[in-house]
Amino acid sequence: MRIIDVHAHWGPWPFHMEVGDVALNLELMDRYGIELQIVSAAEAVVYDAVAGNAKLAEVLQEQPRLHGYAVVNANRLERSAQDLRDCLSTGRFVGAKIHTTYPGVPIGSPLMADTFDMLDEVGVPLLLHTWGTDVSLLPEMLENRPNLKVIAGHAGGDAWREAARAAVECDRIYLEHCRTVTDAGRITFARSVGVPMEQFLFGTDSTLIDPCISLGVIRDAGFTPEELEQVLATNASRLFGL
């Protein structure tokens, strides 16, 4: 069965982990049958968005199984907006990535609203780090931004109930459930409140986390074979045009 990983990373992290080499991305993909992976540069997420995106662009030219997210820093929106367009022009980047914690820009902030306006204009999918109840703000934020589609990375983290309800309110919010804590019932709850199958995606947080964790969560969620195919590949293929 085809698998597309919509939440992964490339490059070294400022932790005590040897995960910086692209060879590890490919090794883990091969081990678990992941065909394609969409990655952001660790440097871009935690330190310098523009410099990290530039280094990732070089890697992507040599790795056809990897596609990129250009990390956007809302604190430097004008520069990030131009950098995003430059990255997309290479044909190797397929979306944007925003981490809310490292740059200190929460979902409900004016800076995030301005960034959402820019992304709505550009019209590419956004992988947004979500952790906490402010994920519930997303439906209202997307109401007047019709071109913006948001993947709730980690599906709200500890606020997975709020994330599920947000996805029910807005069909342009997608749930991606990777995290280190495999809370029982997250996906079952999302389905029970009415999240459509088209809004589930598969992500791993590789290479920070071994993909086996997210695969186990998805495969224990009670999907039929047809639904599993949607979650693991079809929905991502449609969203990103892969």
Domain that holds residue 169: 4-240
Q: What angle do CA 4, 9, 22 make, to 5 degrees?
A: 95
Strand-pair category, 126-129 with 150-153: parallel
pLDDT at 239: 98
* 183: confidence class by pLDDT, cuts 50, 70, 90: confident
* pLDDT tens figures, 12-65: 888 777 788 999 999 999 999 999 999 999 999 999 999 999 999 999 999 999
Domain of residue 236, CATH code: 3.20.20.140
Name every residue whose Cβ is closer than 8 Å to that of residue 152 and which is 6 or more positions away in sequence: 128, 130, 135, 138, 163, 166, 167, 173, 174, 175, 176
Mean pLDDT for the chain?
96
pLDDT at 27: 97
> Could you give the number of structural domains in the chain?
1
* pLDDT tens figures, 99-120: 999 999 999 999 999 999 999 9
State the pTM of this model: 0.97
